[in-house]
Structure formats: C-alpha cells, structure tokens
Amino acid sequence: MSIQDEAGLILKLYELRREEKMREARDWYFRDFNPKSMADFTAAIMGPHSAHLRMAVSYWDMAAAFVHRGAIGLEFFNDVNGEYIGVFSKIEPLISDIRSAFGPGFAGNLEKLIDATPDGRKRVAAVREQMKAIAAQLNSQTAQQSA
C-alpha cells in the first residue's frame, strides 16, 4: 500500500473520530469510565453508557486491525495516534476477566497493537497512572468547590 493510501486511511479514521456520537463516546470513556473491578466494567457495558464503551473500544480495535493487517504501517500510525494507549490502559488490568465474560476476542487487535508498539506496555502503565492522577486532581477540585 502506498504512503498516500495509508494517509487516506488515517484521515478517514480522523474524520470518524470527529463524528458527534463518537466524540460523546470518547469524552465519556476518558472522563467518566474508570473501572476498578469487573463489576464496574459489567455495570458500564450493561448500563446506559454501553454504546459509549463499545464505540470507543471497537473504534480503536478496528483501527488497530488496519495496522495489524498492514493497511497502515505501525510507525506512521503511531506518528499521528496515541489515544489508543489510553483506551487500552483502562481495560488492561481486567482484560482476562472481560474476555472470559464477553468473548476471547475482545479488544484483541488493540492488544496486538499495544504489544507491537515500542514500549507499548510501559506506555499503557504510564498513561494509566497519569489518568489516575488527573482524576484525583479533578475530584479534589470538585470537593473544594462543593465545600
């Protein structure tokens, strides 16, 4: 595939990310979805935000499949995308339980992309810690404003 074809796919992926429902899903996923247990994950996937959860994870799993299958090169993909790291960081600690409950292929392409990315697992862990720190800071600010 030519670099121009890869660029076209990347631009199409970007267009899809800008769609209103997708933006809502991504916002919810990063702001409000913070599963600490399988019960938290199950509550989210069976609750009112099920579509948001499924949309955010399946979008990045699809994008990862493009890389896995060679439609977009890994280096080019990583030059312009990093959000998938954050998406996976929220489910990685529960991935075995999620797959037991919802099927062995859940986020499989996404995990392959993480493992193919240089220092992918380290990046996932670092992003997870950054998001925890941000959430704690936001919770502290909210508590101060409520007082």
Q: Return per-residue pLDDT of the chain as tens, 147 residues.
A: 799 999 999 999 999 999 999 999 999 999 999 999 999 999 999 999 999 999 999 999 999 999 999 999 999 999 999 999 999 999 999 999 999 999 999 999 999 999 999 999 999 999 999 998 988 888 788 778 877
Q: Rounded to whole angstroms, how far apart are CA atoms 95 and 118?
A: 20
Cα 12 from Cα 100, distance rounded (Å): 33
SS3 label, residue 75: helix
Report the sign of the C-alpha dihedral through residues 15, 26, 84, 122, in that order. positive
The answer to whether the Cα torsion of 121, 21, 77, 69 is positive or negative is: positive
